[in-house]
C-alpha cells in the first residue's frame, strides 16, 4: 500500500486489517491474529456477528439518522428500555452518546447541573482515583489519574482531587479482609473532609478497573463503604463502567458483583461492541427530573442516539442474552484466570494475576516479595505486547502505578471465547513469555 496519511498515538506502523470473524482477525497479507484484548476491551461478542450485521442492515434500509431534537427513534426507545431493565432500580433515564469520554463528560455535567438546580451551587469538585482513566476530552481527562496523559494539559484543566486506587496487592494488604476495603474508603472520606463536603459534587471510580490499574478488583467492603461515605456527605456516586460494563465481567455491570447502585453510570466500549460508536449515561430519575423541569439538560452531541448505533446496541444485547455470553465470560474467565495463575508459578516476573470474568490482567515485577517493578528502561509493557503480536496474539498493556513505573498486561478476549480457544491463547502467551524471560533474565 502507498504512504499512509493516517496517524494515531504512536509512530508504530501496523498491518492493514482485511477482515475479522469471531475472536480472529486477518491482515491483508493473510496473517491471522487472535483478538486477545477485544480491541481495547470493545469487541465483547466477537467480530462480524451475523445477527448484529443483519439488524444493522435492516435499520440502514429504514433510516440511519434522525436528530434527537426532531425525532425519537424506535431502536433508541427499545435500547433505552432494555438498558433500564439491566441497571439498578430507579436508574431509568438513559442519555445516549457515541463513546466513553462523552459518557463521562455527560455524567459530570448532569451531576453539576443537578446540584445547581437544587440550590447546591457550591458543589463542583469531582474526586477520582489515581491511577485511573476516564477519557481523553478535557473534562474527563481532569478526572484521569495518570500523570503522563494529564501533565501537558494541566494549565488548560481544572485540577480535581485524587485518592489512591485500592491496590491492596501493592500495599501488602489482604483483598478479602473488610478492613482493607475500609482502609481505602477512609481515604475518600478524609479527602472529602479536607476539601470541604459542601464543595464536593461527586466521586467517580471504575468498579472493576480498566487499563489504568490492570483489571483492579476492589477489596472486600470497599464498594459498600464508598456508597455509605458518599451518602453521608451528600456526594453523588458515579460508576465509570465504560470498560467493566456490558457483560465482560460475567454480570452486566462490574458493580453488580457487590450489589452497589451508584447515582450515575457511564458505559460504552462493549455496549456497541465495535459494531457502532455507542455509549450511554444512565442516571437516577431523582437527578434527571429536576434538571429537565428546571430548564433542560444543557449538553448533547449531534450523533448521539442515532438509530443505526442504537439498532446495533440492541442487537448486541440480544445476542449476549441469546448466547448466554455473560455466563460464558464468567466460566471461561475463571478458567483463563486460573491458567494465568499457573503461568505465575512458572515465571517469577509475574507478580499478580487479577480481574473478573474476561476482564483479566497480570502484572510484571522484578521481585515478587517486594512487588518492585521491572526497571523502567526495559520498557517491558511495550516489548511484551510486540512479542505477543509476533506470535499472532493481541494483548493490551499499560505502564501502571500512575504511569511512572510498573507494567501490566490485559488479557480480555471476547465473551464468546471457548475452552479450546483459551488453550490456544495460552500457548501463544507462553511462547511470548519465554521470549520475554530471555530478555528480563538473560
Ligand atoms: N472510561 C474508561 C474506564 C475507559 O477505559 C475509557 C477508554 O479506555 C474511557 C472512559 C474513554 O472512552 P473512549 O475512549 O471511548 O472515549
pLDDT in tens, 332-384: 999 999 999 999 999 999 999 999 999 999 999 999 999 999 988 888 888 99
State the CATH architecture for 17-48+324-440.
Alpha-Beta Complex (3.90)
pLDDT at 11: 75
CA gap 113, 97 in Å, rounded: 18
pLDDT in tens, 261-296: 999 999 999 999 999 999 999 999 999 999 999 999
pLDDT in tens, 196-253: 999 999 999 999 999 999 999 999 999 999 999 999 999 999 999 999 999 999 999 9
H or E element, residue 127:
strand 125-130
Whether 235 and 203 have beta carbons less than 8 Å apart is answered as yes
- Kindly state if the Cβ of 100 falls inside 6 Å of ligand 1: yes
CA gap 230, 209 in Å, rounded: 20
d(CA 62, ligand 1 centre) in Å:
31
CA distances from 172 to 53, 131, 168 (A): 48, 18, 6
Whether 314 and 78 have beta carbons less than 8 Å apart is answered as yes
pLDDT at 68: 84
- Kindly state if the Cβ of 129 falls inside 6 Å of ligand 1: no
CA distances from 216 to 170, 193, 249, 365, 410 (A): 11, 26, 12, 16, 11
Work out the number of other CB atoms within 10 angstroms of the CB of residue 211.
23
Cis peptide bond upstream of 131, omega within 30: yes
Ligand 1 atom showing the smallest separation from residue 209 Cα: 3
Whether 172 and 218 have beta carbons less than 8 Å apart is answered as no
The boundaries of every CATH 3.90.1150.10 domain in the chain are 17-48+324-440
**Strand, coil or helix: 434:** helix
**Strand, coil or helix: 284:** coil
d(CA 434, ligand 1 centre) in Å:
32
Across the range 140-158, mean pLDDT stands at 94
Ligand 1 atom showing the smallest separation from residue 137 Cα: 16
pLDDT in tens, 67-93: 888 999 999 999 999 999 999 999 999
pLDDT in tens, 318-334: 999 999 999 999 999 99
Residue 400 has pLDDT above 80, yes or no: no
Q: Which residue has the higher pLDDT, 4 or 32?
A: 32
Q: What is the DSSP letter of 327?
A: H
Plot region of 269 (φ>0 → left; ψ -120 to 50 → alpha; else → beta):
left
State how beta strands 236-240 and 200-205 pair: parallel
Bridge partners for 409 per DSSP = 362, 397
CA gap 212, 363 in Å, rounded: 12
d(CA 294, ligand 1 centre) in Å:
30
The boundaries of every CATH 3.40.640.10 domain in the chain are 53-322
Contacts of 256 (CB under 8 A, 6+ apart): none
Q: What is the DSSP letter of 16?
A: P
User: Residue 51, exposed/middle/buried by CB under 10 A (0-12, 13-18, 19+)?
Assistant: middle
- Kindly state if the Cβ of 240 falls inside 6 Å of ligand 1: yes
**Strand, coil or helix: 421:** helix
pLDDT at 355: 98
Whether 224 and 149 have beta carbons less than 8 Å apart is answered as no
Select from 40, 131, 210 the residue to mutate for testing ligand 1; criterion: most ligand atoms less than 8 Å from CB: 210
Across the range 40-47, mean pLDDT stands at 98
Predicted TM-score (pTM) of the model is 0.97
d(CA 243, ligand 1 centre) in Å:
7
CATH value of 53-322 in 3.40.640.10, 3.40.50.9100, 3.40.50.12280, 1.10.150.80: 3.40.640.10
CA gap 351, 25 in Å, rounded: 30
Amino acid at each position: 500500500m502507498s504512504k499512509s496519511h493516517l496517524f494515531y498515538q504512536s509512530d508504530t506502523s501496523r498491518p492493514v486489517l482485511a477482515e475479522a470473524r469471531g475472536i480472529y482477525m486477518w491482515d491483508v497479507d493473510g496473517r491471522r491474529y487472535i483478538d486477545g484484548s477485544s480491541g481495547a476491551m470493545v469487541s465483547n461478542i466477537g467480530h462480524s456477528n451475523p445477527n448484529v450485521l443483519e439488524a444493522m442492515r435492516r435499520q440502514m434500509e429504514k433510516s440511519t439518522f434522525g436528530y434527537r431534537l426532531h425525532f425519537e427513534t424506535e431502536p433508541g426507545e427499545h435500547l433505552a428500555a432494555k438498558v433500564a431493565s439491566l441497571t439498578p432500580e430507579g436508574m431509568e433515564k438513559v442519555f445516549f452518546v457515541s463513546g466513553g469520554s462523552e459518557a463521562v463528560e455527560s455524567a459530570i455535567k448532569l451531576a453539576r447541573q443537578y446540584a445547581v438546580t437544587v440550590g447546591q451551587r457550591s458543589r463542583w469538585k469531582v474526586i477520582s482515583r489515581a491511577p485511573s482513566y476516564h477519557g481523553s476530552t478535557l473534562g474527563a481527562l481532569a478526572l484521569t489519574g495518570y500523570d503522563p496523559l494529564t501533565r501537558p494539559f494541566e494549565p488548560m484543566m481544572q485540577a480535581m482531587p485524587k485518592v489512591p486506587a485500592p491496590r491492596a496487592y501493592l500495599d501488602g494488604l489482604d483483598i478479602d479482609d473488610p478492613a482493607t476495603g475500609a482502609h481505602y474508603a477512609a481515604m475518600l472520606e478524609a479527602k472529602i473532609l479536607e476539601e470541604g463536603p459542601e464543595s464536593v459534587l461527586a466521586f467517580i471510580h471504575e468498579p472493576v478497573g480498566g487499563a489504568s490499574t490492570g483489571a483492579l478488583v476492589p477489596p472486600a467492603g470497599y464498594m459498600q463503604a464508598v456508597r455509605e461515605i458518599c451518602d453521608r456527605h451528600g456526594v453523588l456516586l458515579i460508576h465509570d463502567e465504560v470498560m467493566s460494563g456490558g457483560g465482560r465481567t460475567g454480570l452486566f455491570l462490574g458493580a453488580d458483583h457487590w450489589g452497589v447502585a451508584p447515582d450515575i453510570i457511564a458505559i460504552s466500549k462493549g455496549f456497541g461492541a465495535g459494531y457502532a460508536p455507542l455509549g450511554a449515561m444512565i442516571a437516577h430519575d431523582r437527578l434527571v427530573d429536576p434538571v429537565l423541569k428546571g430548564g433542560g439538560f444543557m449538553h448533547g452531541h449531534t450523533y448521539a442516539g442515532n438509530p443505526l448505533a442504537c439498532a446495533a446496541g440492541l442487537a448486541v444485547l440480544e445476542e449476549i442474552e441469546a448466547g448466554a455470553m455473560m455466563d460464558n465470560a464468567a466460566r471461561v474467565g475463571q478458567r483463563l484466570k486460573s491458567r494465568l495463575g499457573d503461568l505465575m508459578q512458572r515465571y517469577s516476573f509475574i507478580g499478580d494475576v487479577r480481574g473478573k470474568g474476561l476482564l483479566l490482567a497480570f502484572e510484571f515485577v522484578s521481585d515478587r516479595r517486594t512487588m518492585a517493578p521491572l526497571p523502567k528502561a526495559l520498557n517491558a509493557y511495550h516489548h511484551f505486547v510486540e512479542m505477543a503480536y509476533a506470535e499472532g496474539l493481541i494483548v493490551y498493556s499499560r505502564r501502571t502505578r500512575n504511569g511512572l513505573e510498573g507494567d501490566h498486561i490485559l488479557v480480555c478476549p471476547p465473551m464468546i471465547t471457548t475452552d479450546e480457544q483459551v488453550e490456544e491463547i495460552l500457548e501463544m502467551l507462553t511462547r511470548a513469555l519465554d521470549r520475554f524471560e530471555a530478555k528480563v533474565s538473560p
